[in-house]
Amino acid sequence: MDGQTYLSQISGEVRPEKKNVSNIFKSKFFIVGAIGVVGLILIMILGMFVGGGTSIEDQAVTLKVRLDNTAEMISEYQPSIKSSELRSVSASFGGIVANTSKELGDYLTEAYGYKEGSEKANIKEDEDLHKDGLNEELFKAKITGVLDRIYAHKMAYEISLIVSIENKLANATNSETLKNLLTTSDKSLRVIYDKFDNYSEAK
């Protein structure tokens, strides 16, 4: 055996055998790990859909702040409404909002030790931004003489948002007390929504 042949033989023996990459994907450990990762992702996605990524307490506090801010807007603009019919509908809406806010506040206090003004900063900021936007649109409508029409439209929209928050919270909670107060509010708000939505200045 000459030197070149000998060197070639040795080099072939020490050269590491190339592993087939496809074998890695077929290994038991890889498959189990992949299933675990996919399962974790699915659980996270499901949790986001069911709870919206927000605790029941935070959702309830958000609803209360929304109700209180809406009540503030009703008090601010209801006296400027020209239509007696629309003022009456607005007063009914204000009563529902105030009653739901009180019952929700009582529930939050008993269940979580909630205190007025103790809301998380991000909840307060988000809801105040929403209120400021509504206030700006209603103020413009007031000074341009079209408050009645815009008010009816905006209040119908606010009701749809409140109902959406209530439904999401009702589906997330196991508390019968909370479910009952949300269901009562929902039924009342849907009646008022139709009155706002069907309002016409031509009547």
pLDDT of residue 200: 80
Residues in the chain, overall count: 203
pLDDT tens profile 103-134: 999 999 999 999 888 889 999 999 999 999 99
Q: What is the mean pLDDT of residues 73-92?
A: 97
Rounded-to-integer distance, Cα 176 and Cα 200, Å: 39
Q: Are residues 109 and 134 in the same domain?
A: yes
Tell me, yes or no, whether 83 and 128 share the same domain: yes
| Mean pLDDT, residues 30-46 | 54
Question: Residue 130 corresponds to which tokens in the numbers above?
Answer: 């929403």
Are 101 and 183 in a shared domain? yes
- Of 14 and 109, the structure prediction assigns the larger pLDDT to 109
| Range with lowest mean pLDDT among 5-9, 78-82, 100-104, 137-141 | 5-9
User: Which 8-state DSSP code applies to residue 53?
Assistant: T
Q: Six-digit token pair at 81? A: 């409404």
Specify whether 89 is located in the same domain as 117.
yes
Domain hosting residue 80, numbered range: 54-197
Model pLDDT for residues 129-145, shown as the tens digit of each residue: 999 999 999 999 999 99
Asked whether residue 138 is domain-assigned, the answer is: yes
Written as one letter, the residue type at 70 is T
Considering the domain architecture, whether residues 40 and 60 belong to the same structural domain is answered as no
In a domain, 11, yes or no: yes
95 band by pLDDT with thresholds 50, 70 and 90: very high
Q: Are residues 95 and 166 in the same domain?
A: yes
Residues 117 and 156 in one domain: yes
Residue 20 in this model has a pLDDT that exceeds 80: no
Distance linking the first and last C-alpha atoms of the chain: 112
For residue 14, being part of any structural domain is answered with yes
Domain count, the chain: 2
pLDDT value for 44: 47
Residues 59, 40 share a domain: no
Average pLDDT of the chain to the nearest whole number: 84
Q: Average pLDDT, stretch 181-191?
A: 96
